[in-house]
Amino acid sequence: MQIKLTTPLDMHLHLRDEDMLKIVAPLSAKSFSGAIIMPNLVPPVSTKDEVIAYRQRIIEAIGDNKIELYMTLFFKSTYTYEFLQSIKDEITAIKLYPAGITTNSEGGVSGFDIDELKETLNAMSKLNIPLCIHGETNGFVMDREAQFVPIYEKLALAFPDLKIIMEHITTKESVEALDKFDNLYATITIHHLLITLDDVAGGMLAPHLFCKPIAKRPEDRDALQKVALSAHPKVMFGSDSAPHPQDAKESSHCSAGVFTAPIALQLLARLFETNGSSFDNLQKFVSDNAKNIYGVNPKEQTITLSKTPFTVPQNYGKVVPMYAGETISWSLVD
């Protein structure tokens, strides 16, 4: 059995920089036709020159133009209309991190005061630049995302013309928020569709499944699966594939991030098949919905998957992928 996906898109991707970029960027380009590139480098990508230079480094790392690069800027409340207008053609979205919430987010937003944010967010609304948010408070780890939902709702109400993407949602509360406001959308990762906290910390502790937001409860995963498998028009696939060197993961202080880019499509094919969902829905979840939500129009490509066992490599360079050494029932066809 084979399936063909048209122009699969990864709407939340970390490519890092330097050596790591050279390892991971070609792997994403092999599976995906386009990707939203996260800006949380050190220092974060926050000027036009930095966006252009980062895009160029990614293209060089991949070696061709096979993947459409949707660049993002690291949100700052000091961005003016004039600045955003000048950079609009170089970026697809702006990513907002609460300060200190995950890898390289120290310069993010503290508090969500509408008055402080309104100049920038009104400018983004006028210029039709979507706002991507890592929605977690600094509360108890299992509650952080649910506690952030009222902030999503406050922003959605205050800026009704702003497209707000709730990134890598993990809870039923976020799923429920989707249908309350026209301008709230979401990305969902493959790992949050597959695992719960039991997989991270219920047996042996599994650092390669540790990410932010942390995987939640079975009922949360069920809620995510429901909207993904039914291709709810406001959700789209975003891997949040986030590579770290093996020695930063298998350590006394393990970094957050699951590396899934090279196995995401295979796992999605398996998930949609085993749950009896149609591959038409997979097509929507992994491409069409994102095109509609973002209004992007990437060059059409076809990626073929075959129901042939694929054993996940133990590592890609210095990075250990999710499910290293395990066999998945679907393969990419080169």
| Binding pattern for the stretch 42-81 against a second copy, x by CB under 8 A and - elsewhere | ----------------------------------------
Of the candidates 321, 52, 69, 131, the one whose C-alpha atom is nearest the C-alpha of residue 208 is: 321
- Under the binding rule (CB under 8 A), the answer on residue 104 touching a second copy is no
**CA–CA separation, 134 vs 165, rounded Å?**
9
Give least dist CB 312 to a second copy, A. Answer: 13
- Selected from 168, 208, 232, 234, the binder of a second copy by CB under 8 A is 208
| Number of Cβ within a 10 Å radius of residue 3 | 18
Respond yes or no: is residue 222 known to be catalytic.
Answer: no
Q: Give whichever of 22 and 221 is closer to a second copy, judged by the CB atom.
A: 221
Place of tokens 């796992």: 267
Q: What does the alpha-carbon distance between residue 174 and residue 152 come to, in Å, rounded to a whole number?
A: 9
Which residues, at least 6 apart from 237, have a Cβ–Cβ distance to it below 8 Å? 8, 9, 10, 11, 187, 188, 189, 190, 228, 264, 268, 285, 286, 290
Where does this chain touch a second copy (CB under 8 A) — which range of 48-56, 119-127, 207-215, 272-280?
Answer: 207-215
Q: Taking phi first (over 0 means left), then psi (-120 to 50 degrees means alpha), and beta for anything else, what does residue 133 get?
A: beta
Question: Does residue 225 belong to the site contacting a second copy (CB under 8 A)?
Answer: no
CB of 254 to a second copy, least distance (A): 4
* Contact criterion met (CB below 8 Å) for 183 and 162: yes
Least CB distance to a second copy at residue 255 (A): 6
Stretch that binds a second copy, among 51-59, 84-92, 148-156, 201-209 (CB under 8 A): 201-209
Binding flag, residue 196, a second copy (CB under 8 A): yes
| Min separation Cβ 13 and a second copy, Å | 22
Contact 240, 167 (CB under 8 A): yes
Residue among 143 and 273 whose Cβ is closer to a second copy: 143
Figure out which of the listed residues 179, 182, 198, 280 binds a second copy, where binding follows CB under 8 A. Answer: 198
Q: Which of 49, 89, 182, 240 is catalytic?
A: 240
Tokens of 131: 């706002």
DSSP one-letter code for 261? G
What are the residues binding a second copy (CB under 8 A)? 140-142, 196-198, 200-202, 204-208, 210, 214, 217-218, 249-256, 320, 324
